[in-house]
Structures are given as C-alpha cells and as structure tokens.
Amino acid sequence: MARLKRLLAPCIAASLFAATLQAHAEQRTLRVYNWFDYITPQTLTDYQKDSGVKLVYDIFDTNEALEAKLLTGNSGYDVVVPSNVFLAKQIEAGVFQPLDRSKLPNWQHLDPALMKLIEANDPGNKFAVPYMYGTILIGFNPEKVKAALGENAPVDSWDLIFKPENIAKLKQCGVALLDSPSEILPLALQHLGLPPNSDKPEDYKKAEALMLKIRPSITYFHSSKYMADIANGDICVAVGYSGSFSQAANRAKEANNGVQVDMRLPKEGAPIWFDMLAIPKNAANAEDAHGFINYLLRPEVIAPISDFVGYPNPNKDATDKVSPAIRNNPNLYPTAEAMTKLYTLKPLPRDAERARTRAWTRIKSGT
C-alpha cells in the first residue's frame, strides 16, 4: 500500500499542478471595450495566440456610451478606448489607474510631438496611450452631390452642411450626422464664428438655432450606421470620422456596387481627436491590460490596423509601414498647413455642458 502511494504521489502532484495551470489560464481573461469596426480581426486572433490570454472584445459607437459605463465605478473592462476630450474629464473623475511604463517598453515608438499635444488632456501622459487619431470631416457620394448641387458643390466647406439652401437640396439623397453633441455642436459654433469650445451657455442657444434651421434636411443622427449607408448609396453625405469614409469607400469597391465614396477635410478647419487606450481603476486584469497595450504599440502590429480602419496612428516607427493610399491622403494624414486649422476639443464647465445637452435634445427632436 505504501509503495502504491509512492507511485501515485507523482501522478497526483502532476494532476494538481496541471489543474493549477488550467485554473490560472482560465483566470487570464482580458476584457476590452473599443469602438465599432476599429481593429482587424486578425490582430485579435494574433494577440490571443501570442499571449495565451482569452480575449472578450465588446464594441460601442459613442463616447457617451463608454462614459456611462465608466462612471458607474465598475465598467467590467480592463482596457477601454475613450477619445481625448472625454479622457480628460474621466481622469478628473478618478476612473483610470496610472500606467506602469516599465510594462510598456514599446512606448519608445510613440511620436513625441503628438504625445505633447495629448498632454493638454492627460498631463504627463500618465493615464493613457494614443491608439489612433483623426478628424471630423465630410464624406460624400460625388455623383449624387453633383446631381443635387452642380459642379461647384462646396464639398470642401462646412457650408455644404450648415447653409440651409445647400443641405435642403441634399435631403433627397440623404444626410447623416454623428449622434454626438460634443462633436457636432462645436462645428456649428465654428460656422457661426464662435469658439468651438465655448463655455457660454448662450452660445449653445445660437448653435441650436442654426441646427434647427437645417434639422428638416437631416435624415438621421447616428455614429456608425452612416458607414454602411454611404457605402451602399443609401445616403449621399455624412459628417463623420475621417477613417470611416476610407472604410466605406473600400466596402463599396469590394461590393462592386458602383458607389463612389469621397471625403474632404473642410478648408475652415475641424476638430482633431485622439482615441486613447486606458485601464479603468477597477480593472480585474491590469497585468494583461498593459500587455495588450504594449502589443498594440508594436509598429508591425499597429500599421495593418491603420490600413484596415483608415486612420493614422501615433507610432512614428509605423508610418512607413502604412499603405501609401492612407499615409499620402491629406484628408486622412493632414498636411502641415491643414494642421494649423485643426483644434482639439476640451471639457466644458458644468453649466455649459448642461446647456449643450439640452440643446442637443431639442435638435434631435426637431422642436
């Protein structure tokens, strides 16, 4: 009997060790909350193979949706992707944990000039890493816009949207705007000659009045639906994120449906934004969260994502690996001259934020 126990002991120990390893592997689950259609499926597959970590990957399509989860104090995610202006508010609210730079050796690939810009929202770059950046601009169907407005349609100007006589002629072929007061109302303010980041509640009444004039010509507000609709020819103009129109153009080509999608960065200027990788304060797996972020900082990993999503990335050592069709497109990678007219969005004081929210509610309802 004692001999049998001695024979069985190594087997039992091995079984216990295997069970421990299996339990540990099951515990290594990483939960990521990212924007709709914002990474290649291959990236997710490769990360899981490379790390051995099980990935739970969910999507959202507005900053407001993400913020609602974060402000509950228990988002359930280990990595989230807020835009820079929302990041600033969320840092102030204490919802993120500081990054451990020792676990991010690929930080060295980030562009110092862009990191300096981001310090306006994240002083010292303590809480987040930039993932992609871009602008808000106009995407359009050249054939349908020409039919509605003629050869000289102002596709390179916000006049296309905010002049009632222009957008009224586009109503017949469909116009979509982002469902995001923090991104659309600054454009209205800019068009009125007011500061895009105005902190005066009365300015939002003026922006509301302008929006209500064009509201009858807006088909819908949505922050992701427009991508498929413009690729299918269901709408002819949209105000959206720069890379989304690159994706839409590719989808139309793949479908061979005869639809052409083009885009313009308006000459008057536009918001520039950064989508940031951050770790919630209550993340269950901060260790693998750092590992995932570090993985995305590899130049050979992030470049194919830029090709897929149509956005520039902040990785200085990845630029030459991005498709020339993207890196040489001034509507996606703004020129030095265009950069002088771009502006970052900033958090608003509480009274201005309330005024903006009320204005947006009235604009969407059309009353």
Residue 209 counted as domain residue: yes
Place of tokens 């009365």: 202
pLDDT band at 25 (very low <50, low <70, confident <90, very high): very low
What's the pLDDT score for residue 117? 85
In angstroms, the Cα distances linking 80 to 48, 57, 130, 133, 148 are 18, 10, 12, 15, 41
Same domain, 232 and 358: yes
Model pLDDT, residue 26: 61
Selected residue with higher pLDDT from 184 and 347: 184
User: Per-residue pLDDT tens for 94-126?
Assistant: 999 999 999 999 999 999 988 988 998 999 999
CA distance 299 to 11: 45
The answer to whether residues 128 and 172 belong to one domain is no
What's the whole-number mean pLDDT along residues 133-146? 97
Q: Are residues 288 and 157 both part of a single domain? A: no
Are residues 349 and 226 located together in one domain of the fold? yes
Q: Residue 104, SS3?
A: coil
Residues 88 and 218 in one domain: no
Q: How many domains does the chain have?
A: 2
CA dihedral 229, 164, 361, 225 (to 10 degrees): 10
Q: Nearest Cα to 78, choosing from 87, 69, 86?
A: 69
Task: Determine the pLDDT at residue 7.
Answer: 44
Cβ–Cβ < 8 Å for 175, 215: no
**Tally of CB atoms within 10 A around 256:** 7
pLDDT digits (tens, 9 = 90+) for 264-284: 999 999 999 999 999 999 999
- Mean pLDDT within 327-337: 90
pLDDT over 70 at 21, yes or no = no
Task: State the average pLDDT over residues 150-156.
Answer: 97
Domain boundaries, position 71: 29-133+275-334
- Residue recorded with tokens 């981001």: 118
> What is the four-CA torsion angle of 22, 28, 31, 34, rounded to 10 degrees?
-110
Q: Indicate whether 50 and 183 sit together in one domain.
A: no
355 pLDDT higher than 90: yes
Q: Is pLDDT of 1 > 60?
A: no
* Residues 300 and 321 placed together within one structural domain of the fold: yes
Same domain assignment for residues 207 and 354: yes
Question: Is the pLDDT confidence value at 288 over 90?
Answer: yes
Least confident range of 13-22, 81-90, 293-302, 346-355: 13-22
Q: Are residues 237 and 326 in the same domain?
A: no
- When pLDDT is averaged across residues 140-154 and rounded to a whole number, the result is 97
pTM, whole model, 2 decimals?
0.79
Q: Cα dihedral angle (331, 334, 338, 339), rounded to 10 degrees?
A: 140
Mean pLDDT, the chain, rounded, equals: 92
Residue 348 backbone class (left: φ over 0; alpha: ψ -120 to 50; beta: rest): beta
Question: Do 361 and 287 belong together in one domain?
Answer: no
Domain shared by 245 and 156, yes or no = yes
Residue 221 counted as domain residue: yes
- Assess whether pLDDT exceeds 80 at residue 263: yes
**Per-residue model confidence (pLDDT) at position 120:** 86
